[in-house]
Amino acid sequence: EEQLVESGGGLVQPGGSLRLSCAASGFSVSIDYMNWVRQVPGKGLEWVSIIYSGTITYYADSVKGRFTISRDNSKNTLYLQMNSLRPEDTAVYYCAIDTHSRERADHWGQGTLVTVSS
């Protein structure tokens, strides 16, 4: 069964750091397009970042310079290193992937909650 499992969320103080992970399993084809999307509880979806073709990365303006997306193909795992965290980064972070296009995601993880608060 194809599955994405996020981990690494939790409570962190403003200015702190956190690294999220997304482990992919059960996929029979190579996953080229991997994203992070976040959602403030009760609010809408916000795209955060994408990595594809191994090294191409893009970020939302709201996280540029603070967050870094990366992947370890040997572990089938996607990461999001989050530094200089702010209260407005509080959200559920979803891993979302697609095997064909950078413009959509046909598989989503269950999400991991990040809370930035003192």
Q: Does 27 bind another protein (CB under 8 A)?
A: no
Q: Does 104 bind another protein (CB under 8 A)?
A: yes
Using CB under 8 A, which of the segments 17-25, 66-74, 79-87, 95-103 binds another protein?
A: 95-103
Q: Which tokens go with 28?
A: 């029979």
Q: What is the DSSP letter of 87?
A: G
Query: What phi, psi does 79 have (nearest 5°)?
Result: -125, 155
Closest distance to another protein from the beta carbon of 44 (Å): 4
- The residues in 29-68 that bind another protein, with binding defined as CB under 8 A, are 35, 37, 44-47, 49-50, 58-61
Beta bridge partners of 25: 3
Name the token pair of 97: 């992937």
Residue 103: Cβ within 10 Å count = 8
Footprint of another protein (CB under 8 A): 35, 37, 44-47, 49-50, 58-61, 94, 96, 101-106, 108-111
